[in-house]
Chain A
Amino acid sequence: MTVHEQAAGFVLDALGPDEAREFEHHLRLCPDCEEELEPLRVAAVALAFAGELPLPRQELRRRVVGGEGVAVPFRPRRAPLVAAATLAAACAALAVGLGRGAHDRRLALQLPPAPAGKVYEIWFLRGTRAVPAGFAHAGRNVVRHVPRGAAVAVTLEPRGGSRRPTGRLLLRAETA
């Protein structure tokens, strides 16, 4: 098995991190490989069409494209400072970057593991309304499109998430 023949594993995303890096390096030096890759990639992507395709929730489109969302009432609880300090002690870091266009407003989160049975849920806040904006996972950067003029909050919710914030407000960041 030559590195050239790793093309199948590469397009199926089945290489380990080191192998994938090695193959990407090889690709830059091997025009034949690059040419060979695209048809294999198309064949791999065809596999996406082989299963049932349930309709995604409408809300996903709003998350992707950055619309207004379905607003639900939001009643923030007190003591965000205490919670923020707790998270800081656990190496949490929050940064909100502003850039051109709504999609360049992003939230970078570095979170400690959530307690058992809980998930971090992200909310976009506008006035007194909160729009569920997905989940954050421990230890990885989460990037979200933040709508113009919205603030961002993170709460701990029961596994599976909530339709409206019920847990303690852990973080709140203004973007504008």
Chain B
Amino acid sequence: MFTVRDFTPRQTDVERGARGRLAHLSDEALLALASRSDESALGELYDRYGRVAYGLALRVVRDRALAEDAVQEAFLAVWRSAGAFLAEQGKPSTWILTLVHRRAVDLVRREERRRADPLEDVEPPTGEATDEEAWLRAQRQVVQEALRKLPPEQREAIELAYYGGFTQSELAEKLGQPLGTIKSRMFAGLKRLRELLAEAGLEVDAP
């Protein structure tokens, strides 16, 4: 049984030191502060996850203004529900990105935008040689490599659902497959993805 527990961007001590007084705190500690209306704690969480959040939202909604809306609304939910979340198990980063994805999917469904079209002119960020850049690039490679190893039909179902915002029923229609087939592909594919990510070394919390 593989478990994937950690997907948190790492920062060097130098980067942490360059930021505010909260940079040394854990995500959980920041959430605890945010639940007591500490805005700088929310700011620190944004500094850690805002970029991934925005990139994810943009990939789903394919519109900068909508992506910003999704991120803002997700962080507002973080602000409001931090205390309730702390009572549960689970990583704050996973929770935050889950909120962002859900908001983005809600928006893209409401807008009835054409989904899974190529995203225009998203310029890759200029390659600053920061540790964060290097870390993100490494994560991207690991996840892309894991996706490539999935059977194509499982990968297709997962990518159209997660990035395209399609429901299972919509996918069954779009792909001309029975609903049960789509559900099975998604389930098998995500389980396999979890294993592949664990095999790639993402199962342990790094120091």
Contact = CB atoms under 8 A, between A and B. Distances in A.
Interface of A: 1, 5-9, 11-16, 19, 38-57, 60-61, 63-66, 100-103, 119, 134-135, 137, 140, 143-145, 160-161
Contacts of B56: 48, 51
B89 A38 contact: yes
B110 A100 contact: no
B30 interface: no
A101 B55 contact: no
> Which bracket fits the contact residues of B?
35 or more
A102 B50 CA distance: 20
- The B interface, classified by DSSP as helix, strand, loop or mixed, is helix
Given A13-B162, A47-B158, A103-B42, 17 more contacts: A8-B191, A12-B186, A12-B190, A13-B161, A39-B2, A39-B3, A42-B7, A43-B197, A46-B202, A49-B140, A50-B144, A54-B54, A61-B50, A64-B71, A66-B39, A101-B37, A144-B72
Interface centre among B5, B46, B55, B122 (most CB of A within 10 A): B55
Contacts of A15: 167-168
Given A7-B187, A140-B110, A13 B102 contact: yes
Contacts of A143: 73, 76
